[in-house]
């Protein structure tokens, strides 16, 4: 195995021995905060009684609410003067969650990130363009310092200004990228529009993460940009990116278990689940100095992939994130995850790079509406062909999610697209009908306002009129499809 850090070569026994030692140190430090001091006392635990990862299962979970309640620095266990940086988690709802880092924390984080990049095949000779936002979001500086640590020429391009991004790629002969999946699709579409053959670019590797995406989307990005996509996972609460990465085998994400303790629990009961079963990821920091977190409930849903990886690393792998427990929405009593919808949509070659899921009231009932951008080349097809496409998308969706959606085909570029993480779900149901769990999945109001829905008059036209693009959102109940379905699509 070609490795960056010796820890990648450790056997299970070696990993577990280091985990036990680091866990004890972590608990000792965490005990310096009022929250954890109280929780440890209540559980009858002391740092000395923690012998193995099983022992901390007696501790209650740390939740996002605990972090909010202790905002900004209530979970710090070193003096404020020891901290050198802070970042925020990118949640769109509720009060913020802040993470502070000591110099040692930043150093350890950069090393984990460099190790992650190396595992995908990136080397110091690569030219690396970071195409995610900088600032409070950890995908900027977190990835950046990892790339510099590895020794790559690192371009802090940030998100947006796609033309300039493409120019930088060309001018500096960029070979590796970090990019969000929704933005990658957009950049790829723009390249195609400009008639650029991706094979003429030296790109070879993209780290893609920060939001859920499907295997279909991975393949699409790989085809359109002619490179290999490696899933990159992390969250601010666990530093940021560099928590988990796909190795060159591209079969699940190794979690760096010398730095993080990994559990999968039943999201309802909190009970521990065996390898292979889907549940909520729970993580404990093992090397963080300034702000350790014990048994943090990430809300991310995944499973541990059983068995060793072909690459030889013994750090266990998780499946790609299937969604977040707070992304799930309930419609007509059925639990649905946005990724189930994306999986179906991205398997249609006619479907473009953007879509929007809208939950609406329809009389006493609730309706699922899926607005789908279709490719320019498909949009010029005659109505019959488009109608068939619409019906087959609706049919495949119904088979997948067991609810009949209304599918609207819309012109490329007509759905809102921000520069950060994509907001895929817009909940326009009256408040009384919105179950608690679905609230987190609603779209930010500023995004909702910019959504360009097609007015009534456009119903019979195959093409959405140019002028309708910037139009304010159609009033509730407006039939607003470029290609309206026949009745409520079955």
Chain residues in the site for ligand AMP (CB under 6 A): 89-91, 137-138, 209-212, 231-236, 298, 300, 321, 324
Shortest gap between Cβ of 311 and Zn ion (angstroms)?
3
Q: Are strands 127-130 and 153-155 parallel, antiparallel or unpaired?
A: parallel
Shortest gap between Cβ of 8 and Zn ion (angstroms)?
9
C-alpha–C-alpha distance, residues 160 and 420, integer Å: 9
Shortest gap between Cβ of 463 and ligand AMP (angstroms)?
34
C-alpha–C-alpha distance, residues 147 and 152, integer Å: 6
Shortest gap between Cβ of 212 and ligand AMP (angstroms)?
4
Q: Which is nearer to ligand AMP, 240 or 484 (CB)?
A: 240
Q: Check: CB of residue 443 under 8 Å from CB of residue 423.
A: yes
Q: Which is nearer to Zn ion, 315 or 324 (CB)?
A: 315
Residue 311: name its binding partner from Zn ion, ligand AMP, none (Cβ under 5 to 8 Å by kind): Zn ion
DSSP at 52: S
Q: Which is nearer to ligand AMP, 340 or 404 (CB)?
A: 340
Q: Which is nearer to ligand AMP, 24 or 320 (CB)?
A: 320
Q: Which is nearer to Zn ion, 145 or 256 (CB)?
A: 256
Residue 295: name its binding partner from Zn ion, ligand AMP, none (Cβ under 5 to 8 Å by kind): none
Kind and range of the H or E run holding 387: helix 383-401
Kind and range of the H or E run holding 360: strand 351-362
Shortest gap between Cβ of 242 and ligand AMP (angstroms)?
11
Residue 309: name its binding partner from Zn ion, ligand AMP, none (Cβ under 5 to 8 Å by kind): Zn ion
Shortest gap between Cβ of 211 and ligand AMP (angstroms)?
5
> Any residues with CB less than 8 A from the CB of 56 and at least 6 apart, and which?
23, 27, 45, 50, 261, 284, 294, 295
Q: Which is nearer to ligand AMP, 318 or 482 (CB)?
A: 318
Residue 300: name its binding partner from ligand AMP, Zn ion, none (Cβ under 5 to 8 Å by kind): ligand AMP
Shortest gap between Cβ of 70 and Zn ion (angstroms)?
36
C-alpha–C-alpha distance, residues 308 and 314, integer Å: 6
For residue 194, with 0-12 CB atoms within 10 Å meaning exposed, 13-18 middle and 19 or more buried, which class applies?
Answer: exposed
Residues of the chain by 3-state class (helix, strand, coil), percent to 5: 35, 25, 40
Site residues (vs Zn ion, CB under 5 A): 247, 249, 309, 311, 313
Q: Which is nearer to ligand AMP, 291 or 374 (CB)?
A: 291
C-alpha–C-alpha distance, residues 61 and 83, integer Å: 25
> Any residues with CB less than 8 A from the CB of 404 and at least 6 apart, and which?
368, 394, 398, 488, 489, 490
Residue 130: name its binding partner from ligand AMP, Zn ion, none (Cβ under 5 to 8 Å by kind): none
Q: Which is nearer to ligand AMP, 244 or 455 (CB)?
A: 244
Shortest gap between Cβ of 330 and ligand AMP (angstroms)?
19
C-alpha–C-alpha distance, residues 24 and 381, integer Å: 64
Shortest gap between Cβ of 109 and Zn ion (angstroms)?
21
Helix (H), strand (E) counts: the chain: 12, 21
Residue 249: name its binding partner from ligand AMP, Zn ion, none (Cβ under 5 to 8 Å by kind): Zn ion
Residue 324: name its binding partner from ligand AMP, Zn ion, none (Cβ under 5 to 8 Å by kind): ligand AMP
End-to-end CA distance of the chain: 52
Q: Which is nearer to Zn ion, 249 or 330 (CB)?
A: 249
Q: Which is nearer to ligand AMP, 101 or 137 (CB)?
A: 137
Residue nearest to ligand AMP (CB): 209
Distances (CA, A) of 320 to 41, 210, 230, 246, 372: 36, 12, 11, 9, 24
Residue 212: name its binding partner from ligand AMP, Zn ion, none (Cβ under 5 to 8 Å by kind): ligand AMP
C-alpha–C-alpha distance, residues 192 and 166, integer Å: 11
C-alpha–C-alpha distance, residues 376 and 414, integer Å: 12
Residue 4: name its binding partner from ligand AMP, Zn ion, none (Cβ under 5 to 8 Å by kind): none
Residue 232: name its binding partner from Zn ion, ligand AMP, none (Cβ under 5 to 8 Å by kind): ligand AMP
> Using omega within 30 degrees of 0 as the cis cutoff, is the peptide bond preceding 154 cis?
no
Shortest gap between Cβ of 6 and ligand AMP (angstroms)?
26
């Amino acid at each position: 195995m070609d490795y960056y850090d010796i820890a990648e070569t450790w056997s299970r026994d070696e990993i577990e021995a280091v985990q036990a030692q680091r866990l004890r140190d972590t608990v000792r430090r965490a005990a310096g905060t009022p929250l954890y001091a109280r929780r440890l006392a209540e559980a009858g635990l002391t740092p000395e009684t923690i012998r193995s990862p099983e022992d901390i299962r007696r501790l209650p979970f740390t939740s996002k609410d605990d972090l909010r309640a202790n905002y900004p620095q209530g979970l710090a266990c070193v003096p404020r003067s020891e901290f050198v940086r802070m970042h925020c988690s990118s949640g769109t709802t509720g009060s913020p969650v802040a993470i502070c880092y000591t110099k040692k924390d930043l150093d350890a984080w950069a090393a984990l990130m460099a190790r992650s990049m190396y595992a995908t095949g990136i080397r110091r000779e690569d030219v690396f363009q970071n195409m995610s936002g900088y600032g409070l979001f950890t995908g900027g500086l977190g990835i950046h310092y990892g790339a510099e640590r590895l020794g790559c020429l690192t371009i802090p391009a940030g998100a947006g200004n796609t033309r300039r991004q493409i120019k930088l790629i060309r001018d500096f002969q960029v070979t590796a990228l970090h990019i969000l999946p929704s933005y990658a699709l957009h950049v790829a579409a723009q390249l195609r529009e400009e008639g650029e053959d991706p094979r003429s670019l030296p790109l070879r590797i993209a780290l893609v993460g920060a939001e859920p995406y499907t295997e279909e989307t991975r393949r699409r990005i790989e085809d359109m940009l002619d490179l290999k996509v490696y899933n990159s996972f992390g969250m601010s609460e666990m530093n940021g990116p560099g928590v988990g990465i796909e190795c060159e085998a591209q079969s699940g994400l190794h979690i760096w278990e010398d730095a993080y303790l990994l559990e999968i629990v039943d999201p309802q009961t909190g009970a521990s689940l065996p390898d292979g079963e889907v549940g909520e990821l729970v993580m404990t920091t093992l090397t963080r100095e300034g702000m350790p977190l014990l048994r943090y409930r990430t809300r991310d849903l995944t499973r541990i992939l059983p068995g060793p990886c072909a690459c030889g690393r013994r750090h266990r792998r998780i499946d790609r994130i299937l969604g977040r427990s707070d992304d799930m929405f309930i419609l007509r009593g059925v639990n649905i995850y946005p990724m189930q919808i994306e999986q179906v949509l991205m398997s249609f070659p006619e479907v473009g790079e953007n879509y929007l899921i809208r939950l609406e009231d329809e009389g006493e009932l609730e309706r699922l509406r899926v607005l789908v951008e279709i490719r320019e080349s498909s949009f010029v097809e005659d109505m019959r062909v488009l109608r068939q496409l619409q019906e087959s998308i609706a049919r495949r969706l119904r088979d997948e999610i067991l609810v009949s959606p209304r599918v609207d085909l819309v012109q490329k570029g007509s759905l809102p697209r921000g520069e950060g993480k994509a907001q895929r779900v817009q909940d326009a149901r009256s408040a009384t009908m919105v179950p608690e769990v679905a609230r987190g999945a609603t779209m930010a109001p500023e995004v909702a306002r910019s959504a360009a829905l097609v007015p009534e008059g456009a119903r019979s036209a195959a093409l959405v009129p140019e002028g309708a693009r910037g139009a304010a959102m159609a009033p509730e109940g407006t039939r607003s499809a470029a290609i309206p379905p026949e009745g409520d699509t079955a």
